[in-house]
Structure 1
Amino acid sequence: MQIVLDFLIDSWNSLTTSFILKTILSSVAALAIWVIGLKHVQILGVFILLVFVDLLTKWAAIAYKMLIDEFGYDPEKIATWEKYRAIPVAFEKQLIASKYMRKGFVGKVMTYVAATMAAILFDEMSGQKQFAVSLVWLYLGSSEFLSILENLRDGGNVSMGKFLDLIKTKIENKVKL
């Protein structure tokens, strides 16, 4: 019986020690879980993943070019893993740096947030149900998608070049350019 009583006393002391701190942290955690459950925040997470994939494929394309230009590799014989393994070398040679990227990671995410906020306000003003928000998400997501495909093409994936040509042809046929 003493063991059970000691356990209950220890549990009570553990629960009440730093009670205010535990209450604050649990409130922050509850707020974070609620925010993560919001659709706009979830889509932001997906967009951030697209940006990471875009950066990784851009770095691989730069490393691929470095392997050809500086180390004399035959483009036909470069394995996919070699491009990704060469990324740290490209960083050391300062071929990969934020100043060479069209837009940095933070800039892309801030653009997403600003455009989404403006679209939410537009939808509120116009009484539309996620019309502008859907357009913004479609544009930003498709821009990242196309950038990833271009990076894969520039990284030596010939089939992505053919796929991009097909997409360009389809778009030109739709808008009659």
Structure 2
Amino acid sequence: MEFILKFFVEGWNSLTDSFVLKAILSGAAAVAIWLIGIKHVQILGVFILLVFIDLFTKWAAIAYQMLIDEYGYDKDQIAVWEKYRAIPLAFEKGLISSRYMRKGFVFKVLTYIAATMAAVLFDEMSGQRQFAVSLVWLYLGSCEFLSIMENLRDGGNAMLGKFLDLIRTKIENKVKL
């Protein structure tokens, strides 16, 4: 119980450091983005949300595996809430590293920005309207979606394994791998 309290206290402290500045800047940025109506930045917000969901489901999958490997849980008997409740314990045991996850988050967001900028330039150069940008968004969004589905499968949702097999088969049939 102590590790859960410690986890929440550290999270709270991290959130509240320079809270006023963070709140003012994020509020100003949110208002500016929606008032200006820059679709590229709005989609970046959606992509960031997908990355957060991806990280959270990855943490749950790691915690699920920890419950099986280290605590001897029967994988068919683990309740959904138990793997989420075990995330702070997985952090404490060092199975989840916020530094590693933070690097992955920053890399994904920078990749999104660079790919979107290149696509905008390509569309401008070619005279196409949102052709390359749509492809970039579709590819990056699909990668995050599939990663979330894989994390959910690895976190004990066996039904998603069948879904991912179906997708893999469809892709292999199209590409003829």
- Tell me the TM-score range normalised by the shorter chain: 0.7 to 0.9
Partner of 2:159: 159
Partner of 2:171: 171
Q: Return the offset for 1:54.
A: 0.2
Alignment partners' CA distance in 2, 1:137 and 1:100: 25
Partner of 1:78: 78
CA deviation digits over 1:49-106, x for unaligned, max 9?
1001100000000000000001110000001100000000000001001465596111
CA deviation digits over 1:156-175, x for unaligned, max 9?
11001110000001111112
Alignment partners' CA distance in 2, 1:156 and 1:41: 34
CA contact (8 A) 1:53 1:148 kept: yes
Partner of 2:59: 59
Secondary structure of the structure 2 residue equivalent to 1:75:
coil
Q: Return the offset for 1:34.
A: 2.5
Alignment partners' CA distance in 1, 2:103 and 2:163: 24
Cα 1:60–1:49 change in 2 (3 A) is: same
CA deviation digits over 1:13-54, x for unaligned, max 9?
xxxxxxxxxxxx9xx67645424x211111111101100110
Q: Once the two structures are aligned, what percentage of the paired residues are identical?
A: 79
What does 1:77-116 align with in structure 2 at a 5 Å threshold? 77-98=77-98, 101=101, 104-116=104-116
Alignment partners' CA distance in 2, 1:102 and 1:165: 30
Cα 1:174–1:33 change in 2 (3 A) is: closer
Aligned-residue RMSD, C-alpha: 2.0
Instruction: Specify every segment of 5 or more residues in structure 2 that has no aligned partner in the other structure, as ranges.
Output: 1-24
Alignment partners' CA distance in 2, 1:120 and 1:33: 20
Alignment partners' CA distance in 2, 1:49 and 1:167: 23
Superposed structure 1 runs of 4+ greater than 2 Å apart: 28-35, 98-103
CA contact (8 A) 1:98 1:104 kept: no
Secondary structure of the structure 2 residue equivalent to 1:104:
helix
Q: When the two structures are superposed, what TM-score results if normalisation uses the length of structure 1?
A: 0.79
Alignment size in residue pairs: 150
Alignment partners' CA distance in 1, 2:55 and 2:151: 9
Instruction: Specify every segment of 5 or more residues in structure 1 that has no aligned partner in the other structure, as ranges.
Output: 1-24
Secondary structure of the structure 2 residue equivalent to 1:117:
helix
CA contact (8 A) 2:57 2:148 kept: yes
Cα 1:169–1:76 change in 2 (3 A) is: same
